[in-house]
Chains A and B, each alone.
Chain A
Amino acid sequence: MAQEMRSPIESGCPDAFQYMHPVMRRNYGQWAYHEDPQPGVLVHVANSGEKIWTVRAGTQRILDLYTLRKLCDIGDEYGDGFIHFTIRSNIEYQVADEAKVQPLIDKLLKEGFIVGGTRNSVTMISHTQGWLHCDIPGTDASGVVKSMMDELIHEFTSWEMPNRVHMTTSCCQINCGGQGDIAINVQHTKPPKINHDLVSNVCERPSVVARCPVAAIRPALVNGKPSLEVDEKKCICCGACYPPCPPMQINDAEHSKLAIWVGGNHSNARGVPTFQKLVASGIPNNPPRWPEATAVVKKILKAYKENAKDWERMNDWIERIGWPRFFEVTGLPFTKYHIDNWRGARNSLNASTHIRF
């Protein structure tokens, strides 16, 4: 049998240069500057004087073949046949002729895609797989993102934010969506419900015990069967035990909530990269439109838009005005849960008299 199988060609990551627009290939590493003629459009000028225009559009990320082919058709007919995807799943067409830019935009809009997501806009929310495909999700990222982007269209297509806004969603506390200026993440609030009949068949118990960040899980005999038990007083309801042991069901229709975090920033611009901080939780996981989560996000965006200075990212703005003021201008409650007690938490406490009045 094995002899009949085809051995893989371990070619690894393909060379990108074969798929680059020739203008980009010719001027590789030789770019002089770029300008932003309008939202969703960039023009890069090379030292040689050659120019390349980029048109960026938002898509549904989970692409069906019809949409993929439509995007290719647009690229062939209105672009130069070259496509680049951003890290946030925006599609970008590169064209060498300025005259192609507007017809390309018009066609994309006509076909229902959204042109924008550049500079100081709210760009596409980067997201995870959710109920569509993940094995441990507390929610459906695609649905949350679709619902939010429907309401943030104007912010995607305009330049009205103080600086760029990167949003993310995650369907569990592992947080594959990562850091964002605003992150919408599942937050479990009850310990896992254990199906003791299945644990010994399905789970490697020592690995599950080792996985718990707070050592709240121990092996136990339950109804005469080897299983696991959780010290519910210690349990932080993080769900880390669930991936290695599905009988430790952490997802709960009622008690798996959404939490919102702000101020994550990967860039080194101005300050050093920052992690996001908790600002709101207890938000119902409410498909198909998650209106409560979107309402909080819009409240935060409004406060940021009205109060931050040009070029301040969310974290820069909050650092300048201070957290008390952030809670004041957003109207969000400050609770005991906002005070960190994880390792290193002491570094997050105010050990000074720097207080704004």
Chain B
Amino acid sequence: MAKDIHPTPMLDDLENGPWPSFISGIKRLRDKHPEKRINEVANSLLGQLEHSYETRKGYWKGGTVSVYGYGGGIIPRFSEVGDAFPESREFHTLRVQPPAGNFYTTDMLRQLGDSWEKHGSGLVTFHGQTGNIMFIGASTTATQHFFDEINEYGWDLGGAGPCVRTAMSCVGGARCEMSNCNEQGTHRHLVNNFTDDVHRPALPYKFKFKVSGCPNDCQNAIERSDFAVIGTWRDDMKVNQKEFKNYIQKKGRQYIIDNVITRCPTQAISLDDNDNFVVDNHNCVRCMHCLNVMPKALHPGDDKGVTILIGGKRTLKIGDLMGTVVVPFKKLETEEDYESLVEMAEEIIDFWAENGLEHERCGEMIERIGLVNFLEGIGVDVDPNMVKHPRQSSYVRMDGWDEEAEKWFARKREEKQAASA
């Protein structure tokens, strides 16, 4: 145990109450761990945190720390009050990429924990907001040792800084009936194509991939990623009328009308006189509501694929942006499908790296140059699914109209030929 324990009257209050307390956890490291180094780091950390609670200020500053061969992946933290709390003076976080979809065995968690015990503070989070395992609290020299050790058994750093960041994918096909693609496979195909861009920050700003297997978007991909892949389907949703009738039986007809039928955003569903669930699949926008309410009766169709939206991000600098549809539908089944997905990501990152300003997210660049310039830059044709509605303002030069219209008709002819071939 550390000899001089910093008093923590404010933090102590956070040990009360029913929710598990992170303060009690840090105190266990301070008071119970056999290793003096870990006791002292925890004591020092608690001292600084208490000081923050008292003064309502943070006392960490950034810096430059990385491991040999990489430029990023570590969040450096040096204390501004290190003289008072010297043992946690250097308290860096290692961002480590989790397995796609965040699956672990207890054996693997223990192994990671053992390595972290040797080199770090003993504090870890599953996961940070970008999706990394956060090993919180290592000295500058320990970051290299810890990384070397876990890198040997299959773990690699994630992104930090202006680079391709750690990606995220939902539980997906592993345990969800709404899955429309191989979420973990898609996640790894994408991000692992860019390991160099993950480890060596050289882009205008961060670039994130997130994969959700259905439009419920449990990974918050549309708003929180530059490249959002959302599973969907093109053919008819599957209806099990027997199970649907069971829901009516159980919940009552009025409940189904009020909570399912009338909640459809495009009025694409109805209840017929024989208590059948009738779907106008052409006008269904795959919002998922009716499937969510009745998962036993309704399922995605068989012709599965993904929609890709580009440019989501949070507040800095121009305000929040949702991603924009750039690919309304894409199959993801064959090796070629995955290859073309990755090629498209390369195309987008290259174009943005070339044209984005410093600290400008991809979505902000699109906002600045316009979607059409972006599409032309990456070689994607316009599609009415990309807009909520066509242009409202007449103040635009349109002397290329005839050629553009001909492009549309030519494309439609090609599609028709391809479909009949």
Enumerate chain A interface residues (CB-CB to B < 8 A).
2, 5-20, 24-25, 28-35, 44, 52, 54, 58-69, 71-72, 75-76, 79, 81-87, 89, 91, 94, 112-114, 126, 128-140, 142-143, 146-147, 149-151, 153, 173-179, 207, 210-211, 213, 238, 240, 246, 251, 253, 256, 266-271, 273, 275, 285, 287-289, 309-311, 342-344
Contact = CB atoms under 8 A, between A and B. Distances in A.
Contact of A131 (B52, B128, B168, B217): B52
A66 B175 contact: no
A82 B105 contact: yes
Interface stretch (B19-27, B272-280, B334-342, B371-379): B19-27
Contact of A29 (B103, B179, B358): B179
Contacts of B215: 267-269
B68 A6 contact: yes
SS class, residues of chain A in contact with chain B: loop
B69 to A, nearest CB: 5
Interface in B126-166: 126-129, 136-137, 147-148, 151-152, 154-157, 166
A10 B29 contact: no
Interface string B49-61: 1001101111111
Contacts of A253: 55-57
Contacts of B125: 61-63, 89
Interface string B203-239: 0000000000001111111111000001000000000
A270 B55 CA distance: 45
Contacts of A82: 103-106
Contacts of B68: 2, 5-8
Given A133-B137, A173-B315, A174-B314, 6 more contacts: A65-B29, A65-B117, A113-B20, A114-B20, A211-B317, A267-B215
A336 to B, nearest CB: 19
B177 A143 contact: no
A188 B101 CA distance: 36
Contacts of B319: 342-344
Contacts of A59: 20
Contacts of A150: 16-19
B222 A266 contact: yes
A71 to B, nearest CB: 8
A34 B177 contact: yes
Contact of B295 (A34, A52, A126): A34
B407 to A, nearest CB: 29
Nearest to B198: A12
